[in-house]
Amino acid sequence: MAKPVVMPRQGQSVESCIIGKWHKEVGDPVAEGEILFTYETDKAVFDEPAPVAGTLLARFYEEGDDVPCLRNVCVIGAPGEDVSAFASEAASDTAAAPDPASAAPAEAPSSAQKTVQPEPKPQELSGQPQAASPRARSLANRLGMDSLRAIQGRGPEGRILERDVRAAHKDGQIPTPAAARMLENEGRVAVDRSGIGGRVRAADVGEATASGAMAGVAPSIGAVEDRAYTRIRRSIGTAMMASLTGSAQLTLNASFDAEAMLALRARMKAVKEKEKVGSEGTREGIPSVNDWILFAVSRVLSRHPLLNAHGFEDRIRVFESVHLGVAVDTPRGLMVPTVFHADRLGLAGISAQVRALAAQCRSGAIPPDLLQGGTFTVTNLGMFGIESFTPVINPPQTAILGVCAPQTRMRPAVEGCMPLSYTAIPLSLTFDHRAMDGADAARFLQELVNYLNDITANILLDQADTTS
């Protein structure tokens, strides 16, 4: 019996997903657990496995389509089964058709049925690269197409889809290799198609270019590429614009003495090495500088409720527990997973959770529910050598802490002594002035700096409180 495959709902806040890539064609056999298609939310990318074995009978959406959650995407069953009952109303006009190459050949038209083909009209071609789906490029390579510049894309924002390549190949709307190379250095020109089957020849491009030059057409500026924003990029942009335009943000800067932290971390590393832990295990077993700062924030933040909160137009929602958002750089863009109840975790627990969440973010497999619910965010650009920056609040939170690169500074000289150098780490705290005054934010930052200055004693005290 035919079984539909629906678009999953990845988290309560996700309403639709975009299909990124199909791994199976209509008519392909499918084993249970095989990947049918890849789809993305505004936060992550996921693979959808086949729930049952069978044959892929129909696809109701194509690559680049935005599909509502719980909508039928495709159908698996036995060859010949009727799938019309599963076709979604919104997708019925985009249901995938069988591959033309595998379809039964149509009868050749008789001489009486033949019609005179109209003379090919000048075609406008562009030397600019055009966005195309991976399947479209793969099909073009198999068909020997050297360029996709003559194809009119019918996907989202003009993206070339596989069906566009098939239609263009059928109509002969493909430049010859020589013409394609000439188009690389040309702008948009009207080109006659005088080749066999209506293909564009190099002579057609040359004549069109010469005509344009004589008519005073501006010279080409060279190759450019328009890249459509990904869904996660659009999501980040929307959130940041809403944050900057919907709140009164102000940034305070301070720094702490990192000598005690770095010395303690060095001792921990020495102990690990004595235990003969391998280099990979050593690195994973030692909390990073960012982990130490997260630990300190989780302890200090609980005493400053206005910063551990969500701000709205008419009220502020204060949280008892500290749920730390940690900014993670990924190939798809910035993600902010949440370490829930960080104030109840020790340094090792925070460090382990941050590593696990970062790995899930970079692999694209993190559940969307772990990308929300944070009450305060920490973002670190120190690894890039950034000395100071202004972090933007992650709405609806009321504050965010930025961590900068370590700096070497000099202590004030004491009578009879030479000034000594030390390592300082600058911190940048952005807060929403609607939710608190500058003094409230300053008190938090001051206490955080003091806590980090004496991190060794504070960790020992925290462990003693936990065990007592």
pLDDT at position 365 is 83
Q: Among 120-124, 206-210, 400-404, 410-414, where is mean pLDDT lowest? A: 120-124
User: What does the pLDDT look like over 221-268, one tens digit per residue?
Assistant: 778 888 877 777 888 888 899 899 999 999 999 999 999 999 988 888
What CA–CA distance (Å, rounded) separates 366 from 72?
Answer: 23
Does residue 342 carry a pLDDT above 60? yes
Sequence spans of domains, the chain:
3-94, 123-214, 231-467
Q: Among 177-191, 346-360, 397-411, where is mean pLDDT lowest? A: 177-191
The tally of CA atoms less than 13 A away on the side-chain side of residue 61 is 30
Does residue 89 carry a pLDDT above 70? no
Q: Quick one: pLDDT band at residue 205, thresholds 50, 70, 90?
A: low
Q: Are 7 and 17 in contact (CB under 8 A)?
A: yes
Cα distances (Å, whole numbers) of residue 357 to 41, 368, 370:
17, 12, 8
Q: Is 169 a catalytic residue?
A: no
Does residue 149 carry a pLDDT above 90? no
Exactly one of 433, 440, 454, 465 is catalytic; name it.
Answer: 433
Question: Mean per-residue pLDDT for 385-407?
Answer: 96
What CA–CA distance (Å, rounded) separates 2 from 426?
Answer: 61
Domain pair 3-94 / 231-467, same fold: no
Exactly one of 437, 440, 454, 465 is catalytic; name it.
Answer: 437
Note the CATH number of domain 123-214. 4.10.320.10
Higher pLDDT: 121 or 366? It is 366
pLDDT at position 164 is 80
* Topology classification of domain 3-94: OB fold (Dihydrolipoamide Acetyltransferase, E2P) (2.40.50)
Does residue 84 carry a pLDDT above 70? yes
What CA–CA distance (Å, rounded) separates 420 from 309?
Answer: 40
**Closest by CA position to 156, among listed 20, 32, 289, 34:** 20
Cis before 367? omega within 30: no
pTM tops 0.75, yes or no: no
Helix axes 438-453, 289-301, angle to 10 degrees: 130
Q: Is 28 a catalytic residue?
A: no
The mean pLDDT value of the chain amounts to 80
Pairing state of beta strands 399-403 and 376-380?
parallel
Question: Mean per-residue pLDDT for 113-123?
Answer: 42
**The CATH number of 231-467 is which of 3.40.640.10, 3.30.559.10, 3.40.50.300, 3.40.50.1370?**
3.30.559.10
> Among all chains, which residue has been given the structure tokens 């263009």?
168
